[in-house]
Structure 1
């Protein structure tokens, strides 16, 4: 098998940025399709992306593990319904090894700039090391949630204790006996706080805004169940299909102003009240429509708020002092501060300067909002493809299903270029316009457009992260490449 090191004298067929879930998927697809002159550039020292970078206490997935895995590489012996970070990391590492991707990886390297050469019909990709690689096709697999977002609070630099983002959790940090402030109450926070409450002297939950939280109903699989999944033909696949369709219908609960959505909220409120003391109902249960922000899953977060060594601070942090966190009416002394404040979900490809045809800058082209073709391609940037790009995130099902569809379509693009002996392909403006018009119409019907401060919405008020329908509809629309939507040259 060729490795990218042996291909320095000729352009790559494809260069993939990122070796997370998307990079592993498209790498496997391209190799299987016969594209061997590829390289995968990864800034970290190993594969797996999110599950390599996040290792905080309680870190795990909020999608069932049997569904949060590749359909073509099912793991049938997951230890529990919702896998934790170590098991997920092991799975994606194993996949990269099984797919034969490690020889194509360039680990610990960062792409800083990508320029399209109109003359050569190639992408010139610059690395932080100063090296420049030439590639016919450039594929972004950097994901949406990998740039930690830390709020700018007065006095942050004056705090004397350790402070860090949840995605940068120090391996040597021991919470035992410490007073800890967790700023944030979102997806990471609700996993961290119950774990801290076990050993920390006191945990302060600094909540900016509440979230709907449903029971996760997590459990370990029995040895008998794992044995049956591995040995009974089709059983694991059948269970995966059950999980898929039980999640797929949830998108209909997000219809704005619908009885479905009102009923969804009523059920969430009922379940939250059953796990909270009445004194916390007003501050912990949201008033905005259910689903406007991602509905979180936890079996123990709400209960942890009632522990003697946990204090909810619903007014948010006003700033930091040398010794603690300043609230609206007091300063709470703490030994450490954890920023469980999520990620910068847009602008897309912020850390990378991308220059397309005739000097077009991607940052300028998307200054108002990103307009793409199914999240994988955009006008004026030939041979540039994206995975988990704009408007391809989900609020109801497994993102891996979307990534598989995108990988399949991108592979078809490379095959079409090869078949036509074309040096470049670029999506047509009218194809983008048709797709975007339908996308915006569909998005307007969903609760994500309500004002709740979700991370899907950009500064212009547009939903730029989420897909507007079912996974099934996306699969259907991207199953076969429509060559008439592209210009080949």
Structure 2
């Protein structure tokens, strides 16, 4: 039996929940949300490693229409963010629309009906007017291609797939990778393990995290005077806009952040040799800037080794590096981030003429406004290419995209047998503008997960979030070709 709907959302993280709420708030009730896991939450469900948390202040890392006035800390931890998402989804009736345990295998646009046919790995079929992938850029854990990794006899897992049954007490643990996740879980596990070897490919710029617990004296005025909530959020947003502009336009100011990171390193690491190993050799901001108060001190402990030689091999008993040193370990934890370039993988998506999205994106993902792709009508991406941020809250961007997509879906509802296909010239003009601006940004100064193998910056937005909000305020139909189904589509019925 095929389930029909006006809109089908893939993923129940921040983006998927924002999208479903936006549609419902504007009278589009027949919405289906497919979630491959048994619970909602997206990255905040998956990343449950010790110390997992956000590096955007809590008042800004939340929906504008549902402010949380009981965050326990300025920078919320994973359990609190997940609880917030569950509460919001329940409050707005989204939870009942989510079909858990449904992983999308393929989606194909049918020109005869102007609808998408979506199939799950379990064999279920869904037919929808608007196909809205909201899986984001950071949903597929990336494992390094290291010879012999499959031969290791001990426990080995990625930080985004943390093995909570693995007791690290007294174990010799190798951490491969020193990105945003590693700097959070390394200080948490360091006192527990017997010995810790941290394998670093490149040093990170680390700034102090101005974190502190909130008490009732902070929350009480916010609950009493709603305007104070907006003022609190506004202050953080203005600073985030400043940071985003420094990375993309006002690069003369970025050395100020570098000086702060250098001072933080000097204060926390006394050993000059270790400090040299932890000093980055690239322009600040071209890779993600990290925030931590306890990562650097953890590396100074006696039972911790920072290894900067390349990992060349993994054996059944440990890790070998380029200098020939063999490190005996019992557990390997990969803190190697996500396959940000493999957007929408492993789904197979076919548009007009059966063309595959993977082929269209062979040189790197691209989309008009980060949302629509020529030749793939009625497909709207949430957290698509060039919508990531280097210095602000992605939740703000997700709300902007949700409003734009809702406007597009409303347009489709008013035209039952038509479809919206973004014009190639509109997408090309948008991409050329974005890439020209990105060429002047700090993100082209080194290789990072922001860039595809071709060198294109495919992840980040080059402006401020206010500009993106303005550009996505409404759908400009002049950017689209309004196509017609070759026969009238079957009548849409509410999803059960």
TM range (shorter): over 0.9
| Corresponding residue for residue 146 of structure 1 | 139
CA distance in 2, matches of 1:296, 1:11: 44
- Residues 221-279 of structure 1, C-alpha deviation per residue, up to 9 Å, x if partnerless? 12211222222331122111100111110123225894223333233222222222222
Tell me, what secondary structure is at the counterpart of 1:86? helix
| Corresponding residue for residue 466 of structure 2 | 472
Match of 2:349 among 354, 379, 385: 354
Match of 2:284 among 272, 284, 290: 290
| Corresponding residue for residue 279 of structure 1 | 273
| Corresponding residue for residue 114 of structure 1 | 107
Tell me, what secondary structure is at the counterpart of 2:467? helix
**Is 1:204 aligned with 2:197?**
yes
- Relative distance call for 1:334 and 1:29 in structure 2 (3 A) is same
**Is 1:433 aligned with 2:428?**
yes
Residue range with higher mean Cα deviation, 475-484 or 77-86: 475-484
- Contact map agreement 1:136 1:423 (CA 8 A) in 2: no
Tell me, what secondary structure is at the counterpart of 1:199? coil
CA distance in 2, matches of 1:176, 1:461: 42
| Corresponding residue for residue 222 of structure 1 | 215
- Contact map agreement 1:393 1:466 (CA 8 A) in 2: yes
Unmatched 5+ residue regions in structure 2? Answer: 484-496
| Corresponding residue for residue 452 of structure 2 | 458
CA distance in 2, matches of 1:59, 1:214: 17
Residue range with higher mean Cα deviation, 73-82 or 248-257: 248-257
Equivalent positions of 1:76-87 (< 5 A) are 76-87=69-80
Deviation at 1:282, TM superposition (A): 1.8
Unmatched 5+ residue regions in structure 1? Answer: 1-7
Match of 1:424 among 419, 424, 447: 419
| Corresponding residue for residue 39 of structure 2 | 46
Tell me, what secondary structure is at the counterpart of 1:90? helix
| Corresponding residue for residue 172 of structure 1 | 165
Equivalent positions of 1:376-395 (< 5 A) are 376-395=371-390
Equivalent positions of 1:338-349 (< 5 A) are 338-349=333-344
Tell me, what secondary structure is at the counterpart of 1:435? helix
CA distance in 2, matches of 1:153, 1:371: 30
CA distance in 1, matches of 2:263, 2:175: 26
Deviation at 1:345, TM superposition (A): 0.4
CA distance in 2, matches of 1:124, 1:306: 55
Match of 2:368 among 373, 383, 398: 373
**Is 1:307 aligned with 2:309?**
no
CA distance in 2, matches of 1:222, 1:418: 47
- Relative distance call for 1:257 and 1:285 in structure 2 (3 A) is farther
**Is 1:12 aligned with 2:5?**
yes
| Corresponding residue for residue 125 of structure 1 | 118
Kindly report the root-mean-square deviation, in angstroms, between the aligned alpha carbons of the 2 structures: 1.5
- Contact map agreement 1:255 1:261 (CA 8 A) in 2: no
- Residues 407-457 of structure 1, C-alpha deviation per residue, up to 9 Å, x if partnerless? 000000011222344521111122112211210111011111012x31010
- Contact map agreement 1:77 1:229 (CA 8 A) in 2: no
CA distance in 1, matches of 2:404, 2:260: 39
Tell me, what secondary structure is at the counterpart of 1:318? strand
- Contact map agreement 2:171 2:195 (CA 8 A) in 1: yes
CA distance in 2, matches of 1:255, 1:149: 27
Tell me, what secondary structure is at the counterpart of 1:125? strand
Tell me, what secondary structure is at the counterpart of 1:386? coil
- Residues 387-419 of structure 1, C-alpha deviation per residue, up to 9 Å, x if partnerless? 000000001000000000000000000112223
Deviation at 1:132, TM superposition (A): 1.4
CA distance in 1, matches of 2:3, 2:13: 26
- Residues 92-149 of structure 1, C-alpha deviation per residue, up to 9 Å, x if partnerless? 0111111101221110111101111111111011111112111111000011111111
**TM-score, L = length of structure 2:** 0.94
CA distance in 2, matches of 1:41, 1:257: 41
Tell me, what secondary structure is at the counterpart of 1:193? helix
- Contact map agreement 1:456 1:464 (CA 8 A) in 2: yes
Tell me, what secondary structure is at the counterpart of 2:221? helix
**TM-score, L = length of structure 1:** 0.96
- Contact map agreement 2:397 2:465 (CA 8 A) in 1: yes
Residue range with higher mean Cα deviation, 8-17 or 333-342: 8-17
CA distance in 1, matches of 2:2, 2:360: 33
| Corresponding residue for residue 395 of structure 2 | 400
